Amino acid sequence: MKKKLSLMFIAFGALAILTGCEPLTVFDTKGPNAKTLSDTIILSIITMAFILLVVYVLLAFMLTKYRASKAPADYEPPHEEGSHLLEITWTVIPIIIVAFLAVVTVKTTSTVESQPEGYDNKEPLVIYASSSNWKWHFSYPEQGIETVNYVNMPIDRPIEFKLYSFGPITSFWIPQLAGQKYAMSDMLNTIHLAADDIGSFMGRNSNFSGRGFAEMEFEAQTMTQEDFDKWAADVKANEKPLTEEKFDELLKAEHVGRSSYSSTHLEFRPAPMEHSEHMKMGHSEIDMSEDEMDHSEMNHEDHSKMNHEDHSQEKSEETHSH
C-alpha cells in the first residue's frame, strides 16, 4: 500500500511540474524553416505514438485471450501451423513505417537546406558565425561590422549563416528560427533561415565543447529592415575597428561579454572555403595526381621506346660493320 502511495505521489508531482513548464522553444517557431522542422518532429511523435497504441492494444488483447488456464500438468496443446499471412504482415508493416519516415525526413532536410520558401526573389543577408573558446563572433561583410555574443537580423529577408570554428567543433542553433548545424575549423557550413516576427531569441552551442559549454549562448534579435540598417550604420560610425591584436585577445579569452566593431576579422583572418569548394579542391588534387601519374607513365614509356630504338640501331650498325 505504501509503495502504491509513493508511486502516485511521484506521478502527481511530475504532472504538477510539467504543467508549470513553458512550451518547448523548438515548437514555438518564428520562421519557415523552423516550422518545417517542428512539423516533422510532431508528425514523427504522432506516428510513434500510434504505433505504441497499437502495440499496447494488441498486448492487452493477447494477454486476455491467451492467458494461462487451469489445465492439468500433463496437458499438451495441439500443434498449430504458422500463419504466412501474419508473418508477411508484421514484416511489411515496419518496412512501410521506416520508408514513410525516411521520405518525410529526406523531404524536410532538402527543404531546410535551401533558401526558405517565399524568399526566392530576395537577396539573402550573409553573416559569418564563428566560434572560439565558448563565445561567438558574427561578421557582416555587407555592412562591414562585427559583433560578439549577439546577432541582429532583419525580418522578412532570408539569412545565410556561414559557420566555422577557431577551436573545437561546435553546433550553431537558434531553436525558434532553424535547426542546428556544426561549425568546424577547416570548412564552411551554411545554414538557411528567415524570421517572420520581431523578437529576441536564444541561440546556443548544442555540441559539448569543453568546460565553458553551458555558458556558450548568444541573443538573436530580429527587427525591421529599417531598424537593422540604422543599427548597422550606428555601429559602423561609432564603434572602434577590430584589429588583429584585439581579435587575437578575443580568441584567447574564455568568456567575454557583448561587443561591437566597425570592421570584421575577415579582412586579416579570412574564413575557410565552403564544403562544396573543399570537395572540388579535393577532386582537382586527385585529378592532378592522376595527370602526374599519366605523364610519368608516358615519360617512362617514351624513355623505354627510345632505349629500344637506340639498341636496335647499335645492333644494325654492328651487323653492317661485319
Q: Per-residue pLDDT tens for 6-57?
A: 555 565 555 444 444 456 888 999 999 999 999 999 999 999 999 999 999 9
C-alpha cell at 303: 624513355
> What average pLDDT does the chain have?
84
pLDDT-based confidence at residue 176 (cuts at 50, 70, 90): very high
68 vs 111, higher pLDDT: 111
Residues 214 and 101: their CA atoms lie apart, in Å, by 32
pLDDT higher than 80, residue 119 = yes
pLDDT higher than 60, residue 227 = yes
- Cβ distance 205 to 172 under 8 Å? yes
Nearest to 183 by CA among 60, 272, 108, 119: 272
What local confidence, expressed as pLDDT, does residue 197 receive? 95
Nearest to 232 by CA among 148, 135, 147: 147
Domain 125-267 belongs to what architecture?
Sandwich (2.60)
pLDDT-based confidence at residue 65 (cuts at 50, 70, 90): confident
What local confidence, expressed as pLDDT, does residue 12 receive? 52
What local confidence, expressed as pLDDT, does residue 210 receive? 87
Q: Could you tell me the residue ranges of all domains in the chain?
A: 125-267
